[in-house]
Amino acid sequence: MDEKIKRVKDKIGRWLIEENIFPSEAIDPQALFNFHIQPGNLNVVQKVDWRDSIVVGTNVLLGPLSAKINQLDYERKQEFFWDLSLELLKNEAIGDFDIKPDPPDNVSEVFIKSKPIFYDGLTKDRLMNTIYSMSKIMIMIPCLIAKYAIPSEEPEAPEELEAPEAPPYSFYIR
């Protein structure tokens, strides 16, 4: 491994530990380094073919939540798919995403990758903010599923209140 890449890897590992995020090194033949971090099931990665950049990525497996999406009618599935896509597109931290395997008909996972952080812009602040942004996205996805998959109850119309009777007396204040 190139000395510059080793320094960056060590610096990222140190920053994560300073913030009480204890990374484990994931075995990845396609990466120069790949830190797996919890909470969040995120990875901080520098791929072999990237000379001077890293990304933060995750694959959100929807598990039982995907069944809730699959039960929706086609129109609601379309609405969910477009809302999810637009939420991901407008997030400034995201560089790329892939909704799998066959949206909107079948959605069981969402792969999300941050914008690349190039070495000349790599700071602890930028890395941590990217990690926090990715964590928030991971929370947003089940919330959006709940919006579409959990039926909302129509609130009952409130009973009409009768106007209060006028008091039997009145007074005048000067």
Q: What is the CATH number of the domain that holds 30?
A: 3.30.1460.10
Residue 166 scores a pLDDT above 70: no
Residue 52 burial (CB < 10 Å; 0-12/13-18/19+)?
middle
Segment 24-33 mean pLDDT: 94
**Residues above pLDDT 70, as percent of the chain:** 87
In the chain, the number of structural domains is: 1
Per-residue pLDDT tens over the stretch 86-115: 999 999 999 999 999 989 888 899 999 999
Longest Cα–Cα distance of the chain, Å, equals 92
Residue 147 scores a pLDDT above 50: yes
* Distance separating alpha carbons of residues 82 and 104, to the nearest angstrom: 9
Residue 161 belongs to a domain:
no
* Distance separating alpha carbons of residues 46 and 117, to the nearest angstrom: 10
Q: Which residues form the domain of 91?
A: 3-149
* Distance separating alpha carbons of residues 79 and 104, to the nearest angstrom: 9
pLDDT at res. 59? 93
Cβ proximity of 147 and 106 under 8 Å: no
Q: Omega of the bond prior to 151 within 30 degrees of 0, cis?
A: no
Is the pTM higher than 0.85? no
Residue 47 belongs to a domain:
yes
> What is the helix (H) or strand (E) element at residue 102, kind and residue range?
strand 94-102
pLDDT at res. 150? 77
Segment 118-134 mean pLDDT: 97
Helix ranges restricted to H, 19-153:
64-70, 74-90, 124-149
